[in-house]
Structure 1
Amino acid sequence: MSLDPVRFSPKYNPLHRLANNLRSDTVAGFLLILAAITALVWINSPLGDAYENLRALTFGPESLHLNLSLETWAADGLLAIFFFVVGNELKQEFVHGELRNPRRAMLPIVAAICGMVVPAGIYALININAPETIQGWGIPMATDIAFAVAILAVVGRGLPPALRTFLLTLAIVDDLGAVIVIAIFYTAAISLLPLFGAAVGVALFGYLQRGKGLAAKLNSSALPNWVVYVPLAILVWVLVHESGVHATIAGVAMGLMMRTNRQGDEPESPSHHIEYVLRPWSAGLALPVFAFFSAGVLFDGVDEVFTDPAGLGIIAGLVLGKIVGITGGSWLTTKVTKAELNPDLKWVDIFGMSQLAGIGFTVSLLITELSFADSPEHLAHAKAGVLIASLIATLAATLVLSLRGRHYRRLAAAGAGGVDENER
């Protein structure tokens, strides 16, 4: 494959150094947070209208229903690159890593389900006597994987890698669940023909990597692989978008289809190669641009959020519901099934990560728009509720996970062999 222009460049090449820096989760996290803060400051400044006009700017072919705003291109288009990288990373974990063990793989999946049901239940309970806001029950179900992974990278130095894998798995299942909820309860109709076409495209994407029949001829030809894979990936994305399903699911699906084993004289598997190529683009372009266009939420009416059952339900659902659902659901699952927590992790680590899962943003804001399209007042309060909940979740998770990271770094410095297991 010939997608990587800098991998074999001399070490002094500035592009090489930049790409390597962008492969760090910490660097990516700082860029994403900086972009989000910039958006928040800009939209709440006297120049806020300029920000709104910028993200509302549309372009794209109308004939393909792709005349989209910059905000939508960032959330549906660029973010699909990030989801592809995450799906690809999960595939590696399922085949070669932590998630090979079904007992451990089961836990984040159940945690994700509980982390959706409990927040929705809390919101519904708070809004049970408010028929004008009860339809927003789906808002606190979603975890924003991009922000959650970024915050974990920034504050989680020293934490076991298994915690990041747990969060990735949970967030992917969470996103898939949120997409299903949107499709069933918040979308007028799903177009089955484009969805079927996308499924065929994903299957073809996976087949072409297997090294048999047509795939073998493709891999042995002089034609660069990206000439086939990139147009196919774009086609799959367009079809998923046309179907009415959130288009980032196309990225997850193709990432999970990547081949993780080497064949013949390949120096590395396609999975590892494409991760090396795409991670800098994901971290340096897709995530910061997405954050910039998604995080611009006005602080207007913040004082009224806690008196509006919609805003209060969202905050309680994201901040408390995620903790109870994820931590409680995981712990209970280990008691009643054969599922097990990775021995490198402790329940306080899962508690801190469950706080991180309370970061809403993209999908939460999307469901907010769908829930209160005809109610501007509740829409404003709900958006502010998502922002407030996300800030509370970030601060709380930062405190807990920073302390846990410091604890693990002390253990590493002291030497694991001299530390009593009970001290962990």
Structure 2
Amino acid sequence: MTDDLREQVHAAARRARVAANELVLATRESKDAALHEMAAALRTRAAEVLEANAKDLEAGRAAGLTQGLLDRLTLTDARIEGVAQGLETVAGLADPIGEVLRGSILPNGLELKQVRVPMGVVGMVYEARPNVTVDAAGLALKSGNAALLRGSSTAEHSNAALVVILRDALETAGLPADAVQLLPCHDRASVTHLITARGLVDLVIPRGGAGLINAVVQQATVPTIETGVGNVHVYVDASADLDMAQRIVLNSKTRRTSVCNAAESLLVHAAIADEFVPRITDALNAQDVTIHGDERFARDPRVQAATDDDWGTEYLSLDIAARVVGSIDEAIAHIAEHGSGHTEAIVTSDLNAARRFTARVDAAAVMVNASTAFTDGGEFGMGAEIGISTQKLHARGPMGLTELTSSKWVVWGEGHVRPTS
């Protein structure tokens, strides 16, 4: 069975390579037309998607999935419209392929150009979220890549319905359907075969919980971009406007708890603790948020005493860890120890404090007086995102079109030969 599954995955990768070789020559016009066709097809066939999604949700509830995972899994008319609009936004973006990054003419007359090119075959391993199926397919297509999608079994029916629609749209638009393929999802070995298909697959991007991401990063022989978990902090500085701070904390925490940019920890400067701690406790409590607090927060009987584990937990639920700190440097040190390098925010009216925080906090995104919910490819003008990278090589933060490209040097000569030494 394992050998059969390996061959199934590798055969899909070989088909993807053929499709990628065709996409290299595709014009922007043809790729954009395909993206619009995909968006239109999603709207026209939304009922098929919702019917499939209902099966996944029913199975998920029976399996005891958490509310956060069920939220990630859920598709609605509005969410389908959102991903369709995302495809159209991507179509409106500049095509990165062929962009000249550097160029010069050497003294000997050789003309050099470093140009942006597709990665080739990109594998996605992800959990629960069927919207990733559409986002990944659209971004891969626009950047000239073929996508191998390995979703989780929890979204089996939703992903299958979406991929059928996307492949049909590609064929209608005259591009290879194999530019988007869905891999088997019931055997974890299919992930292993994908992430070790060196030579067949050019890049793998895992997107999901810490267990999935760590397993892929540690076992892959294919180059991997690590998308990290989001242990996200909001630090309310001594000079903060407290009305602003309350809005930002609530939006960062409660807007949507199941996403990686949701705040999981709150840090409050001691100078404003007497005023702000009761205020934010009341506000969070009104939104049904459970606070896991230090001694200062836990004076309120509604607050649970925090354990050491709370400081490093990505809850993905209506929970938040909260602590009072004596200084901005103590806040930065806490983030350095417990943060995941995803998104960190400061609320302050002190320009020097903002500069210190943004300079010293090591994260893919640092917010000043803004909600952490803005760390998102769509919000950053990318149309959609294929993930949020917390590593430092090649790509960091929300990944859009350019992060799915590499480069090559094109050298033009006129019979140039290099002199012998």
| TM class by smaller structure | under 0.3
Name which one, 1 or 2, has greater alpha-carbon Rg.
2
Q: How does the TM-score come out when normalised to structure 1?
A: 0.25
Which protein has the bigger helix share?
Answer: 1
Which protein has the bigger strand share?
Answer: 2
State the structure with bigger RCO (CA 8 A, min sep 6), 1 or 2: 1
